[in-house]
Chains A and B, each alone.
Chain A
Amino acid sequence: MSPWWIVCRKELRETLRDRRTLLMMIVVPVLLYPVLLIVSEQLLLFGMRQLEADPAAVAVMGTAPPELLDLIRESESIRLVEFAGEPEAAIRSNSVSAVAIVGASGGPEDTRDVTLLFDATSDRSQRGHRALSNVIGNWGDALLAQRLESEGLPTSFATPVAMADSSIARPEEVGGYTLGRLLPLLLVVMTLLGTFYPAIDLAAGEKERGTLETLLTAPVPPRAIVAGKFVTVAIIGVVVAGLNLGSMILIFQTGMLQFAGAVGLEVSIPIASIGIIFLTLVPLAVLFGAIFLGLAVRSTSFKEAQNALTPVSMLVVIPAMLPIFPGIEFGPLLAITPVAGVSFFFRDLMTGDAGFFTGALVLGSTAAYAAAALVFAVRAFGDERILFGGAEQPVPQDAPSWIERIRLRGRGAGVPRPDQALAFVVFVALLYFYGGFQLQIRLGMGGLLAAEWTLLLLPAVLFVWLGGFDVRETLSLRRPNHRALAGAVLLIAGATPAAWLIGWLQSHVIPIPWEFLEGLEELVTAESLPKLAWLLLVLAVTPAICEETVFRGVLLGGTRSMEPWRVVLLNGIIFGVFHLSFETVIQFLPTASLGIVIAWAVWRTGSIWVGMIMHLLNNATIVVLASSPGLRESFSNPEAPPPLWLLPFAAIALFTGFRLMNALPTRSET
């Protein structure tokens, strides 16, 4: 018997004896979740029937004609009542659900004003309002018919156009469309939950219980141990997902949901699609299993792993939610986006619109990501620093506390630790989020200027000074040589058009919010030279100094001890996240890519001045282009790709800049 299979069999046996996993695997999908769905539906139907069984109490005020009162009395869904006091108070106290205030009649050809009072926060009042509105509409129709008759005109005179809606979608297609919005997310989440606890238990749990140490003394290579554990997690994930899918099919295919039938929906999943959905769940479970296993083994306890994996799960759920939002086209780029591709593919399978090409892309890319995640997990299991790193690591005796650092300030005690630098960036980001936006709303451009200097630069300087860190080391205050400066100019000359290209490419997936862009264009466009100088100060010089001090200063200085690629990638991603706005995420990728290039340049040269120059040149270029009438037309259309002639120059500039900087001696060599 292969070692991985021995491990897998044992893990499955143990997992099946774990009540927590069983609860998640069987009880939730097979029992709890259908029961909850059916019970909530029954409650909904019960409530609706109750409301319908009891005619809504309505009242009429003003000069209501007898024929209107007769119509109300004839209606089965409402009953006419009298009330005392103010109508608003009567509605709030549930004495009546809606009140019609009928204005006086001016003559046979005048318009009668009718105001309907109701409470939009009360189901009962809304129902009364709808019913009363229908009756008054009928009364209006009857009056119109009388008027037309008295003038000798046909009824069609008042209806020059008769419009009728007719959807070509069959009821089952509408049902699939409705299901396709919600069920993919549910399936992804349930697959995720199915792998979440077993992965933690089999990796961090095993470390915490001390069994991993014993297991690793058996004559089995780490890859066999990972394979056994990974197959277990993937099997459980697939079983959980399959049970969920089975539950859904049972509920929808057997017509157990009466509500859907009541509103004319045929909610069913095409039989042919069910098999493909299940097949797609396999690589998804594999992907989640490998990611979680690789991450969980880096934690020392179940609780620590739970804390580490929870934010990752939330990140995973975000792309799974995309099919819910309207206007996002499912194309090749989304098909290869992790999790999002699967979620969209499920949606198309449920509506019967799935294509072979996108399906193959989804399956292929998900399998590739799963393989990469598996390599990540295997590497973790083969790394003794990860497996036993925490057990005997000595605590540095000479690390000064924060209070000591404040006492020692100015004496230059090293650089911040990665966790301190990250905590600082989170702090200023929150400060900027809550304070900076308020300043911008109240003071406009002046507020932006104030926010950058007071909420970014000032806290950064205070952090380094009060923290007692080495200012020169932390903020990379080294003078760059000519080669570094030339490299910086070339890099940003290539990176700015590259960011533009990235923005254009992503516009095929993420819709461009035009109002946001128009506002942005207005912000960066100057009509006069003094305005241009002001814009350059606020939008180019200031961010180059303040944002660079935070991101390429404190953050990069604090994370330098990490692997270089992590330092640069993390810096770019955080820089991109910092530039997210309420309206859209379109700025993230271009900004993050610029951040990565600038972070690499600063990491390579050890000089923040390089970063400041690059940031300044990028922002100043945008302001100048937007403010030059001749250039604005050519460069301001976000839907247009960058000019083709620009791209070779950008590529050459990037390459040359990279070569120039890469030839520089590293910090340790200087």
Chain B
Amino acid sequence: MIRLHDITKAYGPLKAVDRLSLSVEAGEVYALLGPNGAGKTTALRCLATLLTPDGGSAAICGVDVTHDPLGARRRLAFLAASMGLYERLTAREMIGYFGMLQGLDARVLEARLDELIELFGIGDFAGRLCGRLSTGQRQRVSLARALVHDPPVLILDEPTLGLDVLSGQTIYDFIRRERERGKAILFSTHQMDEVDLLADRVGVLGKGRLVAEGSPAELVASRGAPTLARAFLDLVTESQA
């Protein structure tokens, strides 16, 4: 469902992503780990068609993101770390706006809106302007916005950033539910407990390169570390050297 092959992206002399290859299958959750500046967001942005890779190729459900970016966008949901909500739209309007941009028919969209509002528990504040929502409420609206066209691929950039435990739990539930529905999910994070809880596979980035890949248990075992966090630290220290 998600394929990255030898992707390279440079900002001037600095290679933010350097020949990165990875794949995520349907019903799989893949966690991208790495210190700040390792290239996680750049890699996700290349995949989400926001940035054009300098080299290599990327595809969503077999659609090349460079050659057919609009086709790729129809098949993916992208959740940025900033959430990206319009302050002066209500929660319902916000989700509906992206539904229209995805080309959903008005009747289908109305039904989908009701479904998402129910699913994410947005009903109480669906008519409130997004600028007046709490962080947790905003994150729920963001998720509903991203899922409005029910795409097969989810790309989430630090989805629990700045959330409290309860709101974080909503995200965990959401990711598990979508995995069960057969979605391919790629997310970046700094939280090791999230990886332990959710990820089927983990990729560790260092200076734009994939320095390790495997299931959380495989990574821990390969480094002989007591925890995933320790294994991650070892890998990062090694890659920075």
User: When chains A and B are docked, how far (Å) is the Cα of A503 from the Cα of B216?
Assistant: 75
Q: Interface with B: A68-76, A209-217, A657-665, which one? A: A209-217
A3 close to chain B: CB less than 8 A: yes
> Out of A10, A216, A392, which one reaches B89, CB within 8 Å?
A10
Binds A, one of B68-76, B115-123, B191-199: B68-76
Q: How far is the CB of A197 from chain B (nearest CB, A)?
A: 14
- A218 near B51 with CB under 8 A, answer no
* Distance, CA A249 to CA B235, complexed state (A): 74
Q: Which of B12, B84, B100, B103 contacts A213 (CB 8 A)?
A: B84
Q: Which of A211, A212, A393 is in CB contact (< 8 Å) with B12?
A: A393
Say which residue of A211, A215, A217 sits within 8 Å of B49 (CB atoms).
A217
Docked CA distance A665–B95 (Å) = 57
Q: Contact at B93–A216, with CB atoms within 8 Å?
A: no
Nearest-CB residue, chain B, relative to A387: B50
CB-CB under 8 A for A393 and B70, given A209-B84, A211-B84? no
Chain A residues within 8 Å of B81, by CB: 210
Beta-carbon contact of B84 and A393 below 8 Å: no
State whether the Cβ of A331 lies closer than 8 Å to any Cβ in chain B.
Answer: no
Do A13 and B11 contact each other (CB < 8 Å), given the known contacts A209-B84, A217-B76?
Answer: no
Task: Determine the chain A residues whose CB is within 8 A of the CB of B101 once the complex forms.
Answer: 3, 6-7, 215, 218-220
Does the CB pair B102–A392 fall under 8 Å?
no
A18 near B82: Cβ-Cβ < 8 Å: no
User: Are B73 and A218 touching (Cβ within 8 A)?
Assistant: yes
Complex CA–CA separation, A14 to B131 (angstroms): 12
Chain A residues whose CB sits within 8 angstroms of the CB of B129 once the complex forms: 17
Residues of A within 8 A of B78 (CB): 214, 217
Is the Cβ of B11 less than 8 Å from the Cβ of A392?
yes
- Tally the A-B contacts, defined by beta carbons under 8 Å: 88
State whether A1 and B11 are in contact (beta carbons under 8 Å apart), knowing that A217-B49, A221-B70, A392-B16 are contacts in the complex. no
Contact B50 A216 (CB under 8 A): yes
* Contact-residue size bin, chain A (C-beta under 8 Å from the other chain): 20 to 34
Residue of B100, B102, B103, B145 with most chain A CB atoms under a 10 A cut-off? B100
Cβ-defined partner of A217 (8 Å) among B41, B50, B87, B103: B50
Query: Does any Cβ of B come within 8 Å of A66's Cβ?
Result: no
> Is A384 on the interface with B (CB-CB < 8 A)?
yes
Contacts of A394 in B (CB 8 A): 11-12, 14, 16, 37
- B-to-A contact residues, CB < 8 Å: 11-12, 14, 16, 37, 41-42, 45, 48-52, 70-71, 73-74, 76, 78, 80-89, 93, 97-98, 100-103, 129, 145
| Closest A-B pairs by Cβ, 5 of them | A210-B82, A214-B84, A218-B101, A217-B78, A219-B73
Extra pairs beyond A3-B101, A210-B80, A217-B76 (17, CB < 8 Å):
A1-B100, A6-B97, A13-B88, A209-B87, A210-B83, A211-B86, A214-B83, A215-B101, A218-B73, A218-B98, A219-B74, A219-B102, A220-B70, A393-B12, A394-B11, A394-B12, A394-B16
